[in-house]
Amino acid sequence: MNATVHKTLERNAAPAQLRLDPAGQEIALEALHSTHVKHALGWTVRALEGSVWITQDGDIRDVVLAAGQSFVLDRDTPALLSAFSDARISLRLETARARPLSGVETAPARRTGPQWSAA
């Protein structure tokens, strides 16, 4: 599944649209810049360099990732990814699913890709 990506390169510029590859996409964030991810349930954020602060709308948790750490976005709400210093992150859609128990019906997973924008 492909996702639409919105990244603002200058403070007052309109966001640029890019396609996010579900197999993995690297994104560079400058210090104190943020990326806004919409409908990102199931996507893994991995800090490759630097540190990144993650907050999901409606979630009291704040997650801070150091280089080498990852977090799976577990809400289908907007999420904000902010770099404390220059950082490089990857976003990848998790495709592994738990197998249902026999005789138990499950609803299909919602497979919408995230949209994000950097300010």
Supply the DSSP string of 3-27, one letter for each residue: EEEEE-SSTTSPPEEEEEPTT-EEE
pLDDT at 5: 47
In this structure, how many other beta carbons lie within 10 angstroms of the beta carbon of residue 68? 9
CATH class of 3-94+112-118: mainly beta
Residue 26 neighbours by CB under 8 Å, 6+ apart: 48, 88, 89, 90
Which pTM does this prediction carry? 0.67
pLDDT at 8: 46
Q: What is the pLDDT of residues 39-53, one digit of tens each?
A: 788 989 999 999 999
For the chain, the structural domain boundaries read 3-94+112-118
Residue with tokens 């994000």: 116
pLDDT at 23: 77
| DSSP assignment letter at 41 | T
Mean pLDDT by 10-residue block, N- to C-terminus, for the chain (119 residues)? 44 58 86 86 94 94 95 92 94 67 50 56
